[in-house]
């Protein structure tokens, strides 16, 4: 009997692939290199990237103050990330929003919230429309 199973190396499952690095631009213009965890699409069609960066954190263990690395995850708009040359993002999971899929298939325009007439927004309707 052969011990090799399709997709397994030496009978062991493959190690999970590391999340690929990506450049992240912060609100103040700083740039960091983080890891791309997954991509997701919002209801308006905008893409967001779930990224992770490793920062320093403090911890108290056994009455001793220590510093250690801690992963921080957050979402960032597609306009604030830059791919790194030579890095493949093909295997990064992505999730499309249902509304964006429907709009793409039907060509239907995105619906926007109903706007109230100016008189309702300013309260002039109750004052006789002045």
The CA-CA-CA angle for residues 97, 101, 105, to 5°, reads 170
Can you give the pTM of this predicted structure?
Answer: 0.62
The percent of residues in the chain predicted with pLDDT above 90, rounded, is 48
CA distance 63 to 17: 37
Residues 69-123: tens digit of each pLDDT: 999 999 999 999 999 999 999 999 988 887 766 666 776 665 544 555 555 545 5
Residues 32-62: tens digit of each pLDDT: 999 999 999 988 888 999 999 999 999 898 9
CA distance 110 to 41: 14
């Amino acid at each position: 009997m052969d011990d090799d199973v399709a997709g397994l190396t030496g009978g062991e499952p493959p190690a999970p692939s590391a999340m690929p690095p990506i450049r992240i631009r912060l609100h103040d213009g700083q740039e960091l290199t983080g890891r791309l965890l997954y991509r997701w699409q919002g209801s308006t069609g905008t893409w967001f990237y779930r990224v992770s960066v490793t920062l320093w954190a403090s911890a108290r263990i056994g009455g001793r103050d220590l510093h250690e690395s801690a992963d921080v995850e957050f979402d960032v708009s597609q306009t604030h990330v830059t791919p790194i040359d030579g890095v493949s993002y093909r295997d990064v999971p992505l999730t499309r929003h249902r509304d964006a899929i429907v709009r793409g298939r039907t060509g239907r325009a995105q619906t926007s919230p109903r706007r109230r007439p100016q008189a309702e927004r300013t309260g002039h309707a109750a004052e006789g429309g002045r």
